[in-house]
Amino acid sequence: MKLQSTYGLISHICGAGLQAKQVADVLSCLQKESYVFSDIIIKEDEKISEELDTIVLLDRCADLVTPLCTQLTYEGLLSEVFQVEGEKILLPVDILPTDLVARLPANQLHYEVSAFLLDFNDPVYNEIRDSSFPEVGPRIRSRAKAMEAAYQAIQKRHTANTVDEVREFVKQLKEVQEEHRSLSIHTSIAEKIICSTADPCFSEALRIEKRKKGVCFCSPDLQLHCAVFTVFIDAEGTDKFNESLETLICRCEPFLKVLRLICLQSVINGGLRQKILEQYMSELVQTYGSQHLQTLYNLQKAGLLSLKAERSYYSSVKKRLKLVVPGSNEKSREDISYVYGGYAPLSVRLVEWLQHTGAKSPDAALASFAGPFFHVDQRPKGARQQTSLSLGGVAQPDFAATAPKTTLVFYLGGCTSAEISALRLLSSRARGSFFPKILPFFNLLMFTTAQVCADILWLLPV
């Protein structure tokens, strides 16, 4: 409401999920109350915002698949491997420069909170944050070569005579030194990530999750060589007891890593059959202890681990929204699926779909899996635009007649770093891959109640 009081009435409010619909209903009620109690009469043509066009509200429950998958962008792997809190990241001391370690209190020598690592002003981090991990190595090497050339150029100009020349020399030297420091830290972080992803548990989890073969994060050129075929997220034969998961449990692999895979299987299949669920729970309790019974109970309350009640619509949604992109190239960034190694985040596909349809005419499968959908047109009748484009019988606004506007995307319940990277890619392109014929330029501003990864998803309030 504060945004609308400042910028004007936002034309469209649309979204998916029960909680998102409740938020939209509250906004509509507040808007009606403002008309009743406001003493200021505004002309209809002055109510509509010229900068902000659409609010997209997404309930996290509309897409529980995405946060359970392993993120494969650099920023995503930071949250998978380290503890990230907003703009702060907890790092081992051996990663930090010696000057920072020297200033640490004695009780903090085992870790350090470094806010600058996740700062937009850091040119190194800003360049590699949305990159798939195989792309990080070449980018860091390119940066190192450019930095070496900058050092050489500065050394050639070290004979400064005037005060202005000295000031410019010191400024350039400081910038190169700061970039060198940042590059050194991110190189060390990348090495730590390589060690973590080389763990057999990580590779096995990826294989179960996406049926990837030949996963190798620690090859000399930091490439990810894998072929994607039948998966959990491919929804083919995944409603049975998974022997690979049983192997992870028997090896006492980290509890949360195993649990996220079981929850992924449950969400994709609309729940697990009673016999399979009881078998999983029995093995988890026997291996990891009865203290985790409360966690399993909370997961059932949250809908992440449940009994199969009806057929799963995930397979239909996957085909309808092209969630799985075979042969996705992590380096080309031609599609948002690169952030999960071939899986396009459902929530971001929903943003594309909502931008196109305004939540009109969802099929039964989509409405059942990610719904309910809603759309509120706040424009006065006299200000509503004529439509000129149509696809699938759904009328579209005449985008050619209007300048690009901004869409506000709100995640209710948190989002992952990989989803943010996918939204950045979606916002930066002229035309989307899902609706290539009709999507115009549009700016995206993203808001979220929390930034999550699978290992902390069940720590949020139920």
The CATH number for 332's domain is: 3.40.50.1910
Helix (H, G, I), strand (E, B) or coil at 45: helix
Residue 203, in any domain of the structure: no
Residue 157 above 80 pLDDT? no
Predicted pLDDT at 100: 65
* 8 Å CB contact between 141 and 82: no
* 8 Å CB contact between 315 and 235: yes
Whether residues 170 and 276 fall in one domain = no
Burial of 308 (0-12, 13-18, 19+ CB in 10 A): middle
CATH number at residue 78: 3.90.830.10
Residue 226 above 50 pLDDT? no
* 8 Å CB contact between 24 and 15: yes
Residue type at 319 in one-letter notation: K
Q: Which of 311, 342, 375 is the last residue of a domain?
A: 311
What is the DSSP-derived secondary structure letter of residue 61? G
Q: What is the mean pLDDT of residues 422-440?
A: 64
Smallest CA-to-CA distance from 139 within 394, 396, 330, 415 is with 330
For CA atoms 356, 360, 364, 366, the dihedral sign is: positive
Of residues 455 and 132, which shows the higher confidence score? 132
Residue 205, in any domain of the structure: no
Distance CA 199, CA 261 (A): 17
Residue 316, in any domain of the structure: no
| Residue 134, CA distances (Å) to 138, 187, 422 in order | 8, 13, 17
Whether residues 99 and 193 fall in one domain = yes
CATH number at residue 290: 1.25.40.850
Distance CA 342, CA 268 (A): 16
pLDDT tens by residue, 75-89 = 999 888 888 877 777
83, two tokens:
């503890």
- H/E stretch holding 12: strand 12-16
Predicted pLDDT at 74: 92
> Omega before 372 cis (within 30°)?
yes
* 8 Å CB contact between 213 and 207: yes
Cross-strand bridge partners of residue 272: 307
* 8 Å CB contact between 386 and 24: no
Distance CA 77, CA 193 (A): 7
Predicted pLDDT at 58: 95
Whether residues 344 and 452 fall in one domain = yes
Distance CA 435, CA 416 (A): 24
Distance CA 445, CA 351 (A): 12
Number of domains within the chain:
3
Helix (H, G, I), strand (E, B) or coil at 189: helix
Predicted pLDDT at 397: 47
Q: Which of 311, 334, 356 is the last residue of a domain?
A: 311
Residue type at 303 in one-letter notation: G
pTM beyond 0.85, yes or no: no
Boundaries of domain holding 287: 217-232+236-311
Q: How far is CA 344 from the centre of its chain?
A: 10
Helix (H, G, I), strand (E, B) or coil at 184: helix
Mean residue pLDDT across the chain? 77
Pairing of strands 227-228, 212-213: antiparallel
pLDDT tens by residue, 238-289 = 778 888 888 889 999 889 889 988 999 999 988 999 999 999 999 999 999 9
* 8 Å CB contact between 296 and 281: yes
Predicted pLDDT at 109: 53
Residue 436, in any domain of the structure: yes
